[in-house]
Amino acid sequence: MTTPRDHLSELSTEEKASLTSGRDFWTLKPIERVGVPSIMVTDGPHGLRKQAAASDHLGIGDSVPATCFPPASGLGASFDPALAERVGVALGVESAIEDVAVILGPGINIKRSPLCGRNFEYVSEDPLVSGVIGAGLVKGIQSQGVGSSLKHFAANNQEFERMTMSSDVDPRPLREIYLRGFERVVTDARPWTVMCSYNKINGVYASQDPWLLTQVLRDEWGFEGLVVSDWGAVNDRVAALVAGLDLEMPGSDGAPDRAVATAAASDPAVAAALDASAARVLDLVGKAQARPAASGPLDVDAHHALAREAAGRSIVLLRNEPVGGAPVLPLAEDASIALIGEFARTPRFQGGGSSHINPTRVDSALDALTAAAGDRVAFAPGFAFDAAADGQDALRDEAVALAASRDVAVVFLGLTDAEESEGFDREHIDLAAHQLALLDAVAAANPRTVVVLSNGSVVALPFADRVPAIVEAWLLGQAGGSATVDVLLGAVNPSGRLAETIPHRLEDTPAFGNIPGSLGHVRYGEGILVGYRWYDARDIAVTYPFGHGLSYTAFGYGAVSAAVTASGDIQVTVPVTNTGSRDGREVVQVYIAPVASVVERAPRELKAFASVEIAAGATADVVLTVRREDLAYWDTRVDRFVVEGGAYRVEVGASSRDLRDSTAVDVAGDAIVLPVTPESTLAEVFAHPVAGPMIAGAFAAVQEQLGDAGDGIMSGDAMAKMLGSFPLGRLPAFGWGVDREGVDRLIAAANAPQA
């Protein structure tokens, strides 16, 4: 049986060039004379956005109804890759039914700053969580014979001037923070496509960066799929092709295709790149053709139920203090409830822009709570979304009166589409002043006040110590209203955890002062200290730490044990006991750091996690594996990841600042032999296996010349430290019996091939 790739040799240069750009907004060009069909790709990290008529990239045109699952900001808080995979399967099923070959997602860019307007579409501030959840989604989608598109590759961490801005990132943070999640998904899940980002990286457009698209993605990580541009991201089509970009989207007037064909006719390098890209496009078409015909119609109810389950698992219970002897949540079965806030009636369940889904249905918290609690519930909007709208005072007064008349007040607050969307960044992390004023008044009228948040990225919580209960409900997809009520009433025991830190102030955040940049450049000045790494390294107080989340039960941790396996991984075991009276799910988190390091390291980094269901009174022996490669830092001297040898501290707990037990384990390091040069320090020379013994005698003579510790201008220890940073090539100038010829001989011997 022939495949589309088999026709490559039959194609003209012009036909090959035509394959490397879209036919229109969402489809690829066919080549009918050899039987290569057109295939469709479409948006949808958390739901299918197949547009039925007019096409656009910002969610303006209508699309076919599809299930809107929780966006990544919610699903990431589940800390559960198995749940992500189940959602991915559902996305793949819906795509297959609609004959979509590739669904454009997931997005796993790091939440560098809470200001990024697209944070709702990204998973976490941590690369491990981003990579593991992203891999789960990709595996699920592609299990249905539908391709995924891992995006946005790479360092796309803001919306301000996103199509031209240069993300200026040093090698260590680029590799350790911003690329690591992508590497995890590429190597673990093998996505069919990777989508390059709009921005430049260190001055080079991602779409035409051979280092990024070929050296890193293909040569180092072994990616064999297709690289597609973000829509409109290509600046120079020929340069992009040679760099490793296979497909430019969307379609255009044909000028880029003609430029590619002309260049290929005269330049063998362009011709070879064109052959490779055309072959990858044909491979993608072949994969799409290999999918069995999907059976429909869509089981709308089953997918809505999955969306509800995923939303419930994404909710994070931030605070739940007792009032009158018992925690406020779950709500008492006989409590009268004041439900307050327009978000309860008009839910904001997804972000704006290219990921905007036309849902099959939408559940509101008002409808769900009324259905469950009947006339025990009374509603007041409390505010209008438009802060400038007339009547805000009257709405507030009505809500306060209602709150005072009920046993408990549940207040829904959040961000509107106008405050948070693709295409622009937020200017602050505050909730609207009229919403905060409403909350203050309600809390004064009713001490049993619960806050439910609707937001795609974190907001400041100045009221965190003034209300007894806070529920972080993110943007939860079409079933979020029902899922939130499930948690409020206790039908679902909350198990979500924060995949991003909630700071006290914007000024405390890592990128503050280094975002959004100016004059076409944004400097990633915080380096590797992104998210919780920054707050822990700087000992900055936060409102709620990374990994935090409460439950309606409690979990006790036993003694942690850790051992290095034969493969070099670390196996961590900890018994976890559900000490409460309700079944629940605990997210066990493993943080690791070397006890000593030659480079700057965060005090601790998440290296493994597991979401574990434990029955009331039961104990689970939780076993987690830390991959050896995840212990490595990027060594700029040798341009590769290196695992340092020595003792590592292993801490296990329920958040980055709720660590229940710890142990230590010794890890064998990777061997590094640096070339010896005149710029090598004496400390580096002493550590060299060949040069070290050779220079030992000469250095002893130097120390003798300098006198013992009691003589001279500094102590022996201080002198040793100073000389440790002394460049080898400068020793002859000091007349210490080390001449220039001796240095040259030492360098030649050290760098000679060893038998």
Q: Which run of H or E residues covers position 470?
A: strand 469-472
Task: Kindly list the distances between the CA atom of residue 730 and the CA atoms of 587, 670, 705, in Å, as whole numbers in the listed order.
Answer: 55, 30, 17
**Selection from 464, 416, 461, 467 nearest residue 441 by Cα:** 467
Q: Which residues of 361-370 are buried (b: 16+ CB within 10 A; e: fewer)?
A: ebbbbbbbbb
Q: How far apart are CA 641 and CA 636, in angstroms?
A: 9
DSSP code for 70: P
Contact 69, 477 (CB under 8 A): yes
Contact 309, 70 (CB under 8 A): no
Task: Kindly list the distances between the CA atom of residue 708 and the CA atoms of 143, 506, 696, 716, 738, in Å, as whole numbers in the listed order.
Answer: 72, 54, 17, 7, 20
Token pair belonging to 336:
């009268």
Amino acid at 611: S
- Residues 6 or more apart from 652 whose CB is under 8 A from it? 557, 560, 572, 574, 588, 589, 590, 591, 659, 660, 661, 662
The position carrying tokens 């009229």 is 434
Q: How far apart are CA 683 and CA 676, in angstroms?
A: 11
Burial of 708 (0-12, 13-18, 19+ CB in 10 A): exposed
Q: Is the peptide bond before 90 cis (omega within 30 degrees of 0)?
A: no
Token pair belonging to 78:
């589940």
Q: How far apart are CA 71 and CA 107, in angstroms?
A: 10
Task: Kindly list the distances between the CA atom of residue 308 and the CA atoms of 483, 537, 611, 712, 723, in Å, as whole numbers in the listed order.
Answer: 5, 38, 18, 76, 65
DSSP output for 120-172: GGS--SSHHHHHHHHHHHHHHHHTTT-EEEEEEETT----TTTTT-EEE--HH
209 is catalytic: no
Q: Which residues of 542-575 are buried (b: 16+ CB within 10 A; e: fewer)?
A: bbbbbbbbbbbbebebbebbbebeeeebbbbebe
The edge-to-edge listing of strands for the beta sheet with 521-523 is 204-205, 200-201, 166-168, 521-523
Q: How far apart are CA 742 and CA 747, in angstroms?
A: 9
Contacts for 705-713 with beta carbons within 8 Å, 24 or more apart?
A: 705/736, 705/737
Q: How far apart are CA 356 and CA 338, in angstroms?
A: 31
Token pair belonging to 355:
């990921």
Q: How far apart are CA 141 and CA 189, in angstroms?
A: 10
Contact 612, 576 (CB under 8 A): yes
- Residues 6 or more apart from 145 whose CB is under 8 A from it? 92, 96, 287, 288, 290, 291, 292
Task: Write down the catalytic residue from 126, 230, 363, 536.
Answer: 230
Contact 488, 330 (CB under 8 A): yes
Active-site residues, by number, are 230
